Amino acid sequence: MPQRPPIILIVCILMGGCVLIASSIGCGDLTPTDQGSLHTADEPTDSNNSDSSATGSDAPRSTSATPSTSVSLDIADWDEAQTVIKQHKGKVVVVDIWTTTCLTCIEEFPNFVQLQRDYGDQGLVCVSLNCDFDGIESKPPDYYRQRVEQFLVKQKAEFPNILLAEPFLDFLDEIELSSTPAILVYGRDGKVAKRFDNDNISKAADEYQMSDVRNLVEQLLSGQPNATSS
């Protein structure tokens, strides 16, 4: 019986074009190509698995949850805060009295940080004194720590930071201040050279500016006589 010529089977696969398969008449057990081989849906897509070397000791680690600055915040009363100030006698000390609810305080804080960066190596020490604590029994000073710390870290306030443990209004009465913002500047002798505040102004144009504080700091660092205390 004469042999039957081979039959060319053409299997058309929609995704992969046409594949020619040479076979004899006896290839009845030929099965279609498995669909799993036509796509990569079962292949790992996690980028962490794409390169095994990325998991080695030299692979970079995310630092988004770790502050890039060394910012500290201590809770203290005004007497304790003054002790911190006295520890820097011989240097010019600038104390920023502020709250997170004071818009001017927040807007000017970057300039306060810049002051430390510009003159820290010349004998200046900046100290921030936050007064968010209102004296509410259910909200002790530590209640405000997180939001104050978050702001300080964002500003990279790498100098002494104090969250005042005294009620804000009691503190204002104690130092005879009407409101924030306010800044105390201490000369190298440890005495207040000048207090900047807006207690007695009649219009916004008369508010003190950080440039005024900077000018005084430059004078004190250069050894010029202290300004008259206000």
Any domain includes 150:
yes
Please give the share of the chain, as a percent, with pLDDT higher than 70: 67
Residue at 121 is within a domain: yes
Q: What is the pLDDT of residues 44-90, one digit of tens each?
A: 334 333 343 333 434 333 333 344 469 999 999 999 999 999 999 99
Domain-embedded: residue 68: no
Look at residue 4 in the predicted model and tell me its pLDDT.
Answer: 52
What b/e string do you get for 92-116 counting C-beta neighbours within 10 Å, with b at 16 or more? bbbbbbbbbebeebeebbeebbebb
Q: What is the mean pLDDT of the chain?
A: 79
In a domain, 228, yes or no: no
Mean per-residue pLDDT for 107-113? 98
Residue 69 in any domain: the answer is no
Q: What is the CATH number of the domain that holds 87?
A: 3.40.30.10
Question: Is 26 part of any domain?
Answer: no
**Once rounded to an integer, what is the mean pLDDT over residues 163-190?**
97
What domain count does the chain have? Answer: 1
Strands 192-197 and 124-130: unpaired
Q: Is residue 99 part of a domain?
A: yes
Residue 136, domain extent = 74-221
193 vs 70: CA distance, rounded Å:
29
What's the pLDDT at 145? Answer: 98
User: 60: phi > 0 → left, psi -120 to 50 → alpha, else beta; which?
Assistant: beta
Would you say residue 51 lies in a domain? Answer: no
Q: Are 189 and 156 in contact (CB under 8 A)?
A: no
Q: Mean pLDDT check: name the lowest of 37-41, 83-87, 90-94.
A: 37-41
pLDDT band of residue 121 (cuts 50, 70, 90) is: very high
Rounded to an integer, the average pLDDT of 129-152 is: 98
Check whether 93 has a pLDDT greater than 70: yes
Residue tagged 């240097």 (tokens): 91
**0.75 exceeded by pTM:** no
- What pLDDT does residue 49 have? 39
| pLDDT confidence tier of residue 224, bands split at 50, 70 and 90 | confident
